[in-house]
Structure 1
């Protein structure tokens, strides 16, 4: 089992890193920029092979990767022929495209994963009522556990998320709820009440509810290719939006920085998802790919977003940012990134209690 766990983590990180670096690589090739190295991993080389001008590497530390471009460092000595293919000699829009392609490919990977899963089929909660809250609007109106909601205000429903959405935006208006009970349709009028609840960030919010919760019954929902793609795009957009909101909530103090996870937590979740099955593992891969894209787009020097920030300034002003200022920002950004990595690593260690560590050592030693 320990072998499967290690393989799952390596596959997860490998696919995400490969997709990201492939974006940089392909865009650089398309733009006519020389690519000197394509590496999965950092540090010492494990294996490698040179094909054409590019050296393809598998390196020791599997926590990232890189694409080394011709002429990407200021002051790099180049022949007149190489200068035409040097990264920093390209028009600013080409440079922006090359840098942005990494995060974009991570987003495309997520869209592709969700599209395929939507075609294969994913379990969704049915419209069957599993429980009613005491003294709720639903209970007082005569609804019962086991009722299957088939329409709300004349709109057919078959999934629980459709029910939640319609009730949530009802604004206290009377709803005509049609349920199937013992195989017979029955219309029940109900008025949703404004209730206080907590959102996923732990904030207290008000929303309209009638006091019902779903049964655990699920059905497999499948989509045709076009519909699956549309849903995959929406899922990627919603998760990306939620990630950005989460970052904002962290700066507001709503979300604790302790919720940040590093390599150890990612590995733990990946292993747990593999135990649940291949689909939960692949869904986690898509979620992580979206997070990787967004975090890389943050305007922090040494990340893609930091490079994009300087190139955008150059595009708007028509002048390159001073090399000295850029190098200073890179050094500060690198130091901050190291501190963040240490902080996240310590959080991961703090989450691991003695029993978890003991069990892990026991598995390795047999």
Structure 2
């Protein structure tokens, strides 16, 4: 329990700071006054004013906020400060400030994954762990313990690369180069379509040769440039998978019961922390992406809701009517509260289920 509490405090603290720092930094760069920078909501625990900005640690650690000069219609702004008011900025500057929070979450994930790739990632080798009877691999003579070192002239050392080449083969004949008992030789085979389950439990057809991976791994380390590129790809793939999961949830393929809230996050943070620092850091990157995606939803009160109104303004050349924005924010707040209640309900059901 102690590890879970400590790890979730670190996890949420870092992610909230990254998100709010994105808003803070871009607002400063745009010349907009920043009145408050708070980690957490609610009553102030500790704080300090530096210049015009009050830096706060607040009681409820489930979010944070940056209070900008002239952010609200009701804010009083002195005439001499009008140029530094958020509402006086061009729509494109306001868009940049709003989108910077989620953008920093994605950039942070890229950096986290890049560090992991530089430190080293356990990677499954291209060793054959099993051969399915009657499969193309079995007919070609592949055996457990064989190491596949190339496919149609393309060198492979990772199981993921091997699987990708086979899946994308289109059923064309492949030349498999094997290493067995310190000897190398080639076999030819044609992948065949087989039905299996994807990560959502749906039946899908894919080309396979009938081999499974072994448990052998090696530590793969990358140079900083390669690691940054891999971190970028990893962030893109996880973002795509997150959005696809939401689509599958709407379609009824994935149950909404899979959604989790702070309790599940605390449990998972504790589990990953016990597994090691790299597991915990990876989980932090994963959650940072989820936070970025969530905040871009076009729900008023979230960054995505503000972004939606500013994009309408950019296209039409007119601000959205204040009454419409206020009503939309009320609806958005209600949606957000219902979502929070739902994920807490799921978390409690999991606790009782355990």
Q: Which residue of 2 aligns with 1:315?
A: 314
* C-alpha distance in 2 between matches for 1:274 and 1:132: 36
Q: Which residue of 2 aligns with 1:344?
A: 343
* C-alpha distance in 2 between matches for 1:211 and 1:62: 50
Q: CA deviation at 1:116?
A: 1.1
Q: CA deviation at 1:140?
A: 2.1
Map 1:116-265; keep pairs closer than 5 Å. Answer: 116-265=115-264
Q: Which residue of 1 aligns with 2:27?
A: 28
* C-alpha distance in 2 between matches for 1:79 and 1:301: 28
SS at match of 2:35: strand
Q: Which residue of 2 aligns with 1:330?
A: 329
Q: CA deviation at 1:40?
A: 0.5
Query: Is residue 2:112 matched to residue 1:113?
Result: yes
SS at match of 2:117: helix
Normalized against structure 1, the TM-score is what?
A: 0.95
SS at match of 1:352: helix
Q: Which residue of 2 aligns with 1:359?
A: none
* C-alpha distance in 2 between matches for 1:11 and 1:75: 35
Query: Is residue 2:345 matched to residue 1:353?
Result: no
* C-alpha distance in 2 between matches for 1:43 and 1:36: 16
* C-alpha distance in 1 between matches for 2:4 and 2:347: 18
* C-alpha distance in 1 between matches for 2:109 and 2:251: 28
Give ranges in structure 2 of 5+ residues lacking alignment. Answer: none
* C-alpha distance in 1 between matches for 2:151 and 2:352: 48
* C-alpha distance in 2 between matches for 1:264 and 1:186: 54
Q: CA deviation at 1:135?
A: 2.1
Normalized against structure 2, the TM-score is what?
A: 0.98
Q: CA deviation at 1:225?
A: 1.0
CA RMSD of aligned residues (A): 1.0
Q: CA deviation at 1:299?
A: 0.5
Q: Which residue of 2 aligns with 1:7?
A: 6
SS at match of 1:207: strand
Q: Deviations over 1:70-92 (max 9, x none)?
A: 11111322210122111111110
Tell me how many residue pairs correspond in the alignment. 354
Q: CA deviation at 1:327?
A: 0.4
* C-alpha distance in 1 between matches for 2:176 and 2:274: 40
Q: CA deviation at 1:5?
A: 2.4
Query: Is residue 2:18 matched to residue 1:19?
Result: yes
